[in-house]
Structures are given as structure tokens and as C-alpha cells.
């Protein structure tokens, strides 16, 4: 059974703080994604990675960076958190060999005060 | 890049009725069209998908149709039940990087 986990379900940070959101998958998937989910806006892709140390910008990368030092772990970094980054953050992973289903983590609800 | 439009944004039906959610996409290179269901407080989960070489796919009470020429695809749920109540997302993509572009979601409410 595929398992995608995220480091926190709820997180509260202050404006200007550096924030790390971690995602771990246990299925040896090559591809991993970070989305943010806001009411009425659906899921928007922030960054994705198709291999260790490889990353590509998604549709809304501004204010975010990512790190993938190990295959199973994909981190989203908010260099200087702002209130407009208050959102639900979802991580997903997918095998690069045939299957297309993206498996999602449970999400991290981030509030920036 | 790809753009996916999804309608309606909310849909309310009576138990036992059918529900239809429609999506359009812009990139003719997209070849994979999944539908995800997200129950309140839970993660999105794939319920059905279709590839561009197929016009229709069915799995029990849910079906998806694809019209490549018109660049639109639809989700059909028959004999709806209260447990079908959720937010449904369509998506398009399937290139070599497996990137998906999602619609904005449809909140389906099935009234008992």
C-alpha cells in the first residue's frame, strides 16, 4: 500500500519565518509534487521533482523553494513566510514507470500570522 | 501551459439521481485525464481515469467520457448516494514529467 506522509497536519508560523514542510513516500517513486489548495482555486502546482536533486517550477513557484536530497523525501521551503501563504499544502508522488496515478499525502494546514 | 476549466463549481442532487461534472482543457498534447474525489478533511484520491486513446470508461456507478476533438471530458455518477458527497477534481496532463493541471473542483452534495 502506497504511503505518502507529511511532517505536520497543522502548523502556525509568524510572518518572516523560514518554514520547512516535509514529505516522505515509501514506494520508491521518482516523481514528487508540491501543491497548494485554496477554496475555489483547486490544486495549484508549486514545484515538482523527477529525480534526486532535480526540480522544476510549477505554476506558482514564487516565494517557495524545494529540496530533494534523497529519493523518498521532498521538502518545500518558504524562505520568508507571508500571510498570503496561509493555505493547505499537499504533497504527491508517482512512479515514473507506467503508472500515472498521483498518490497524495494528508496535507499540512499552514497558518502564517 | 495547460488550462483546465471545470463546471459546475457546486452541484446538489437528490439521492438516486445522476450527477454530471464537465471539464475542458486547452493543450492538445494532454493524453491523461484523471478524476479525484476529496472527502472533507481527507486527501484527494483517484476514482477513475481515461487516456486519450479511449472515448469512454466505466467503473460501476461512475463513468468518464472524453471528446478529444472538442477537448472536453466529463464525469458521470449514476444512482448517487450520500457517501458520494465530496469535492471532485478533474485534471489533464500525462507528459513525460507526469505533471497534472487540475480544475478548480466541484462540490457535490447528495441529499438523502
Q: Walk along chain B (112 residues) in steps of 10 and give the mean pLDDT of each run.
A: 95 98 95 95 94 89 95 97 97 84 96 94
Please choose, from the candidates A67, A68, A13, A45, the residue with its C-alpha nearest in 3D space to the C-alpha of residue B95: A45
- Look at residue A99 in the predicted model and tell me its pLDDT: 64
Is residue A2 over pLDDT 70? no
Q: Tell me, what's the pLDDT at A17?
A: 97
List, in sequence order, every beta strand (DSSP E) within chain B: 4-7, 10-14, 19-25, 32-38, 45-51, 56-59, 62-67, 72-77, 86-93, 100-102, 106-111
What pLDDT is stored for residue B14 in this prediction?
A: 98
Task: Between A102 and A112, name the one with better pLDDT.
Answer: A112
Report which of B104, B86, B107, B91 is spatially closest to residue B37, judged by C-alpha positions.
B86
Does the pLDDT at position A98 exceed 70? no
Tell me, what's the pLDDT at A101? 83
Contacts of B7 in chain A (CB under 8 A): none
Closest chain A CA to residue B4: A42
**Angle, alpha carbons A57-A63-A69 (nearest 5°):** 55
Looking at residues A18-35, what average pLDDT do you find? 94
pLDDT mean over A84-95: 94
Residue A27: other Cβ atoms inside 10 A: 13
Q: What pLDDT does residue B95 have?
A: 74
Q: Are strands A10-13 and A108-112 parallel, antiparallel or unpaired?
A: parallel
Q: What pLDDT, on the 0 to 100 scale, is given for residue A1? A: 66
DSSP letters spanning B90-106: EEEE-STT--EEE---E
Q: Test A31 with B1 for CB contact under 8 angstroms.
A: no
Q: Are the Cβ atoms of A100 and B89 closer than 8 angstroms?
A: no
Q: Among partner residues B44, B46, B97, which is closest to A56 by beta-carbon distance? A: B97
- pLDDT value for A97: 64
By CB atoms closer than 10 A (0-12, 13-18, 19+), residue A61 is: middle
Q: Which of B5, B35, B44, B45 to mutate to test the interface with A (most CBs of A within 10 A)?
A: B44
Amino acid at each position: 500500500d502506497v504511503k505518502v506522509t507529511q511532517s505536520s497536519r497543522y502548523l502556525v508560523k509568524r510572518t518572516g519565518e523560514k518554514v520547512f514542510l516535509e514529505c516522505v513516500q515509501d514506494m520508491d517513486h521518482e516523481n514528487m509534487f508540491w501543491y497548494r489548495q485554496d477554496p475555489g482555486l483547486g490544486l495549484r502546482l508549486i514545484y515538482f521533482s523527477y529525480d534526486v536533486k532535480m526540480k522544476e517550477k510549477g505554476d506558482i513557484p514564487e516565494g517557495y523553494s524545494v529540496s530533494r536530497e534523497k529519493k523518498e523525501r521532498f521538502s518545500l521551503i518558504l524562505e520568508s513566510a507571508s500571510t498570503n501563504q496561509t493555505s493547505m499544502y499537499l504533497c504527491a508522488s508517482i512512479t515514473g514507470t507506467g503508472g500515472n496515478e498521483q498518490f497524495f499525502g494528508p496535507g499540512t494546514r499552514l497558518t502564517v500570522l | 501551459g495547460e488550462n483546465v476549466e471545470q463546471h459546475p463549481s457546486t452541484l446538489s442532487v437528490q439521492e438516486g439521481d445522476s450527477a454530471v461534472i464537465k471539464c475542458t482543457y486547452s493543450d492538445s498534447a494532454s493524453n491523461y485525464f484523471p478524476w479525484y474525489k476529496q472527502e472533507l478533511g481527507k486527501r484527494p484520491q483517484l476514482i477513475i481515469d481515461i487516456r486519450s486513446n479511449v472515448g469512454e470508461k466505466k467503473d460501476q456507478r461512475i463513468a468518464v467520457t472524453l471528446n478529444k476533438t472538442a477537448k472536453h471530458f466529463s464525469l458521470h455518477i449514476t444512482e448517487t448516494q450520500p457517501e458520494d458527497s465530496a469535492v471532485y477534481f478533474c485534471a489533464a496532463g500525462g507528459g513525460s514529467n507526469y505533471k497534472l493541471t487540475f480544475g478548480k473542483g466541484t462540490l457535490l452534495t447528495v441529499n438523502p
